[in-house]
């Protein structure tokens, strides 16, 4: 049996690079082969990638859903990761896990770890704002 998805009305998702939108009622889909799938809650639009870690997430997302962009986005990812590590060395542990998942071709897992990085980045930014 494949991956079963239950979609809310009007929920969007990406399947294999195609952006799909559900209609007015709940729907159930079964994906019977291996293909990249991202639900709306996991999709970041380019305009939403406002921070360095957001841009890292976006690069990983593009590597996951569009294999043709992997080399280009990997170069972008590596550059961004280098900048983030220089600015915030405390991100090393999360980035090391993310790099390991990426190197193993586990793009979805790397995206999940990138969510942790986004949350940590927000914590760092909140700490800066609290001090000012």
Model's pTM, two decimal places?
A: 0.90
77 close to 60: Cβ distance less than 8 angstroms: yes
Dihedral over Cα of 65, 51, 103, 101: its sign = negative
Give the model's pLDDT for residue 132.
Answer: 63
For tokens 């559900």, name the residue: 22
Give the model's pLDDT for residue 2.
Answer: 81
Distance of CA 51 to the CA centre of its chain: 13
Q: What is the mean pLDDT, run by run of 10 residues, along the chain of 132 residues?
A: 89 91 94 92 93 97 93 96 96 98 96 96 83 66
The C-alpha atoms of residue 123 and residue 48 are separated, in whole angstroms, by 18
Give the model's pLDDT for residue 129.
Answer: 67
């Amino acid at each position: 049996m494949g991956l079963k998805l239950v979609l809310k009305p009007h929920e969007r998702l990406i399947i294999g690079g195609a952006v799909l939108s559900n209609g007015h009622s709940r729907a159930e889909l079964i994906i019977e082969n291996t293909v990249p799938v991202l639900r709306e809650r996991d999709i970041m639009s380019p305009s939403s990638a406002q921070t360095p870690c957001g841009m890292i997430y976006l690069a990983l997302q593009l590597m996951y859903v569009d294999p043709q962009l992997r080399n280009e986005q990997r170069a972008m990812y590596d550059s961004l990761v280098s900048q983030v590590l220089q600015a915030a060395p405390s991100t090393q542990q999360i980035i090391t896990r993310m790099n390991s998942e990426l190197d193993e071709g586990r793009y979805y897992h790397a995206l999940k770890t990138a969510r942790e990085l986004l949350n940590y980045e927000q914590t760092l930014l909140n700490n800066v704002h609290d001090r000012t």
